[in-house]
Amino acid sequence: MFGQIRLIFTIIIMLGISGAGIYVMKLRADNATLKANQMKLEQAVTSQQQLLEQQKKDFQAIMKANTELNALINNLKKDIDDLDKRFNKNDRDIGKIAIEKPKVIERIVNKGTEAAARCIELASGAPHTEAELKATKKSEINRECPSIANPNYVPYE
């Protein structure tokens, strides 16, 4: 009987040791899985941070472009108001003046057409000429779009 009890205790101890070994191996496998998951999470966090930084840069670029566009729109509105003041005068009859002074009107219209064509060229991305950049006097500027054609011209208010 003592032999049987000893055999049972030996089997119980061996089962306990093998169970503990299996448990430790399971813990190691779980640990490896958790480490792999942790690495994936850290990579995801890093990529999200990079994405957020890129979105901030994009937002700043959009805001800068929006500011520049608003400035251009304000300049164009000012140019339209100036043109409106120039052409909306009650006592002016362009047809009557054209009959009386056709050469003068032809010269004025041709000069205005050339200036307007240059405005369109500049708005389409053409480079400024040296004369346009150096223009600082009212007689030197493009009167159709001074804010676009002559960036260095500052009108006296």
Domain ranges of the chain: 40-71, 98-157
Phi, psi for residue 19 in degrees, rounded to 5: -65, -45
Altogether, the residues listed in the chain come to a count of 157
Is the pTM here over 0.85, yes or no? Answer: no
Amino acid 136: pLDDT:
81
CA–centroid distance for 18 within its chain: 65
Check residue 125 and give its pLDDT: 84
Consecutive 10-residue averages of pLDDT for the chain (157 residues) = 85 91 93 94 95 96 94 86 74 78 89 89 86 83 83 72
Return all residues near 78 (Cβ < 8 A) that are at least 6 apart.
Answer: 147
Report residue 139: phi and psi, to 5°: -75, -15
